[in-house]
Each structure stands twice: as C-alpha cells, then as structure tokens.
Structure 1
C-alpha cells in the first residue's frame, strides 16, 4: 500500500488561520480504480482564495468540507494511471489538494506542455491562475487604451506583476501599489511600471495625487479596504474597476460597508465588475498562447516565491494575508 501526506480541514477559521484549523496527516492510499490516476505533486499553488474555501460562506464553488483534504491548485506527474486520457510520466496541472500524492478521476486536471525556456514553476505559476486572471481582467473588463492611467494593487504579487506589464504593452501609464521598498523597486526597475507606491511607508491617496493628478482610468483591484477607497476616490469619469479580490477583508470578522461609496460610483459613472478566472474558461487557449509568446519574447517577466515543504503549507499560506510573499506563492512538494 502507498502512503501520502495530506492537509485536512478540521475546523473553519474565525479571523486568521489558526493552529488546529488544518491537520497534517499521513495516510494509506488504496490502489487506483478504473478511470483513476495517481499524481505525484511537484508544486502546490497557494492563493488568496484558499481562505474563502475554508469558510462556510457564499462563494463560487462549494466550501471545503470539514475533514476533507484542503483544496488547491497543483502541478505534478502521473505515476500510475488506469485512465486512458492520462499517460504515466505525463505532466498535469489543475485543481487538486494539499497533498504529495493526488488520487483523481482526472476531473479538473489538464495536460501541461513542457515549454523550452519556461521552467515548470514559471509555467504553472503563470498559466495556472494568475496569468489568466491578469489577462482577462485587464483586457476584457479594464479595456485599457493608450495613454490611460492604470493602478494595480498588490503589484508585486502573482497577478499584479502581470497586469502591470500587460498594461504597459497596451500603452498605459502604470502605477503599482506594494508593501516595502524592495517590492516597489522591483516593479519599477525590473517590470517597467512607471511608478510605485509603498503603502507601508506613505499615504496612498497623497501619493496618487502626486503621481496621477488628473485621476485614474483603471483600478485593477485585489486588496479592498482603505487602499481601494483611496483609489476609487480618484477615479475619472467612466473609469473601470476589474475586481478579482478583497484580500484585506478575508480574515475580518466585523466588516462594515464604507458609507458614500455607491454615491461615488454613480456620480463618476464607474464600471465595476467582479470576476473569477473560470468565467473565461472557453477562451483559455487564447490567453495561454499570448502569455507564452510574451514570456518567450522577454516582454513579460514573472517571479515565483517558492517555499519548501508541504508540511509547512499552513505557515506559508498566511504570507498571502500579511504581504509576506514576493511574487506568485508556490510550495515545492516533491523534487522535479
């Protein structure tokens, strides 16, 4: 009998994720049945939505059940297959679990091509969730035009770094918001953003008044809270807000809607659209082709923050909610 290590959700967090909310266990894995595969997980993606999946709240898919393996995006190799759609040794990626050995019927898994010049963590960290989120959110909802001002919150994270670079390719002036001087330097000097605001060291509203005195056309929103309020208050007429996250609120227990926001949306005639990347699933091929082309041409760079050890995944995931990660957060589960 094979064994695996897996994180299971034992109780729903109240506020921050606490010790005991998740349990790390070793368990036996039965032989696969007809139609199933065993996948040796190489990398686990940690994403802000992990905290949502732990909660019994309205969301875009059922929450993880108590006692169930924690859900997460994975990339790995098929080590045993009784499913004709998957060959042993093949690289696959998709929605799986926080485990080193995934047992699956193939649902939610896709073949992942191995592209010369793009490493497995680069490809998985870009093409899996964050790249399509950036691509469709900015191009379909933000509808950038040359000369417009684009503000990107969480600019040094997995999604934000790609949004800003696509914005530059489309002719926008791009201002990133990030936490810390190193992250701000990175998005300007390495990724080509026009400017960056360190929300930990300066007033975001005052910095926007200095950097974008005529206002903001597009706010790619991932954070929520006071940072979102500062940007919304400086939006131009007919501004657009692709909304893919509100990470500053995910651990909150006493949310209060800010007064006056609906009046501002009305008077500025803002378009705000929340979206989930799977909304655009039928067009995923278009996105991946564009992203891979830009990466191979050197027009889009991505940074992965790779942390070692599945046994510390409960620790690493907390970095997302404190700004502790720098780039797309991945856990290396098994050696390649």
Structure 2
C-alpha cells in the first residue's frame, strides 16, 4: 500500500490563449496502489514546453486537449519506486508523459524511454537528450537535409530546440544565422551556441539584418515561430531552399484561422520545399538520436542551457513565463 501523498497540478479552466497561472490549481491526493503492469514513478523534473499551449486549447491539434480537472499533461523524468511490470525495476530512471505531479502511476505506454546515458544529468533527458534535442536532430537532418556550405536560419534560436538545431547545423558544415529576442539571448546565441550571426528581431529591422546576413539567400529555414518572422524569412529563400515547420509559437489562435502573406509564390519561384513534422512520428528511432546527442555533449561539441524553477508550486505560471521570454534555456521544474 502506498503511503505517499501526491501534489498534482490540474487544469482548472480552459484558456482562450496562452495559459496563465490562474487556469491551474494544485491539489493533493493519495497515490493509488499499483495494478498489474503498472509502475510508480517519483518525478524529479517536470518539463515546460511551448506545445503545452496547444495541449490545453479547446481546438485539438495532433493530440486531444487536456480535460478540465485532469492533471496537466507533461513530460517528466524520475525514478521507478515500485514496479508490477517485468521490464522495469525499482531504481530505473525513466522519462515519459507522467504529468505535472510528484508521483505517477502509469503503464509502459506512458514511458518514452529508459534513461541510460552514463555521466549525464537526469534533467537533460527532458532537454537536449530528450524531445527537444531529438526534435532538432530529426527535424534538421531528416526533414531539412542540410548540405555543407548551406546558410541555415533558425527562429527562437536560443530556445531548447533552436539552440540544438544551430549547433547540429554547424556540425554538418553549415553557416548559421539565429533569430532571437533581446540582447541576452542574442549574446547566448553567439557565445554559447556558436551561431555565426545572431539577429535581435526586437531591436533591429529583421528585413535589413537578414538581407545583410544572407546575401546569397537562405538555404534552410528551421521555423519555430510562424507569423511575421517567417513571412520575412520566406522572402529571402535561395533557389532549392528547404523550410522545416517545427512550431508556430507566434500564432495566437487557430480559431479563427490566421491570415497573412501566402507562401506559394516564394516556394514556386525558388523551387523550395516546405514540410512540417511531429516528433512522435520518429519514436522508433529515438535511441539513434540520443546516442549521437549524448556523444556530442561528452565531446564538448553540443552545449546547452537550463532554466530550472525550484518546486512544483512554480508550475502553474511556468508556461506564461515561457511565452514572455523569461527563460534563458530549457525550462524545467525541479521537485524538491
């Protein structure tokens, strides 16, 4: 019998746009006993993702919205305390969709992967060796197909995905141009993540700065934002360019559907390709990416930054802070 009490962050009301702290509530409940095939995980780190905005939206995207009164959906990393499944044992480190809570009783389908990277912090399994790094790896290499000498432009270039994209592009022999907001993030792009050029879209004319940074055009654009930033980048595509659609952080709502400049003429004239992807489609290949990412980190060739909030009480306001640009790296919540 479990004697643990579990603090959980539940969705209290449905936000119309970016979820704020008052859309959530922290409750306390008993941890249920295990049924056959289940494991009990003590969460040590909770992830905060831009995608969570879509997960609580009233309009379903690639997953069903979190229901009112449910524990907030999230990736988390922790340790198996009890197991009623033959593939897991107490002490195993795991990462998966465990939710914003201190303890999770789940079946094996909720576990994304066991964590076996020697000598690396557990927190990285939610960032650069987790879904963020894996997204950068497959989005750039499989979808974007960079070639040595390409000019690669990345929006939200200092973010958890964008920072990895820029570095993997450099490892692929490309020239990198990062777009970020504010002098601190621009400096981080240059000094920590090694971008050849970093542009502050908040204090410069992006049109002018991009033209100067990419005189021969943009060969590959890794798009995390959509919206006005992408409208400008599309005007600078080189012949044969590839556009990877990873996220649409600047689009405030899908209801009504947003209007803006059309991409078709750019794609036609430049013989360019635009493709979206969802990282869960690559689930059978996750270990391939993690092996490469972990080795690059050990070799000092892939750097990262983390923004860690201490305590589950910070979870309700963490998504809104992400969209205000408060974080200076992968945003995580460490459970004390």
TM-score of the pair, normalised by structure 1: 0.95
List per-residue Cα deviations over 1:195-254 (Å, max 9, x = no partner).
100111111111001111121011100011111111111111221011110011145765
The equivalent residue for 2:75 is 73
List per-residue Cα deviations over 1:181-204 (Å, max 9, x = no partner).
121112112221101001111111
1:156 and 2:158 aligned: yes
1:48 and 2:66 aligned: no
The equivalent residue for 2:115 is 112
Distance 1:327 1:251, change over 3 A: farther
The equivalent residue for 1:4 is 6
Q: Which runs of 5+ in 2 are unaligned?
A: none
1:185 to 184, 187, 208: 187
Distance 1:239 1:214, change over 3 A: same
Report the secondary structure of 1:317's partner residue. helix
TM-score of the pair, normalised by structure 2: 0.95
- Tell me the matched-pair count: 333
Q: Distance in 2 between matches of 1:244 and 1:5?
A: 33
Give the CA RMSD over aligned residues.
1.6
Distance 1:195 1:57, change over 3 A: same
The equivalent residue for 1:14 is 16
Contact 1:46 1:331 in 2 (8 A): yes
1:259 to 258, 261, 265: 261
Q: Distance in 2 between matches of 1:88 and 1:231?
A: 50
The equivalent residue for 2:172 is 170
Q: Distance in 1 between matches of 2:33 and 2:281?
A: 35
Shift of 1:171: 1.0
Q: Distance in 1 between matches of 2:117 and 2:297?
A: 14
Report the secondary structure of 2:14's partner residue. coil
The equivalent residue for 1:85 is 87
1:223 and 2:225 aligned: yes
1:271 and 2:270 aligned: no
1:286 and 2:258 aligned: no
2:148 to 146, 149, 153: 146
Report the secondary structure of 1:38's partner residue. strand
1:60 and 2:62 aligned: yes
Q: Which runs of 5+ in 1 are unaligned?
A: none
Shift of 1:255: 4.8
Shift of 1:111: 1.4
The equivalent residue for 1:306 is 308
Q: Distance in 1 between matches of 2:34 and 2:225?
A: 42
1:197 to 199, 204, 207: 199
Q: Distance in 2 between matches of 1:119 and 1:259?
A: 43
Contact 2:124 2:130 in 1 (8 A): no
Q: Distance in 1 between matches of 2:126 and 2:248?
A: 23
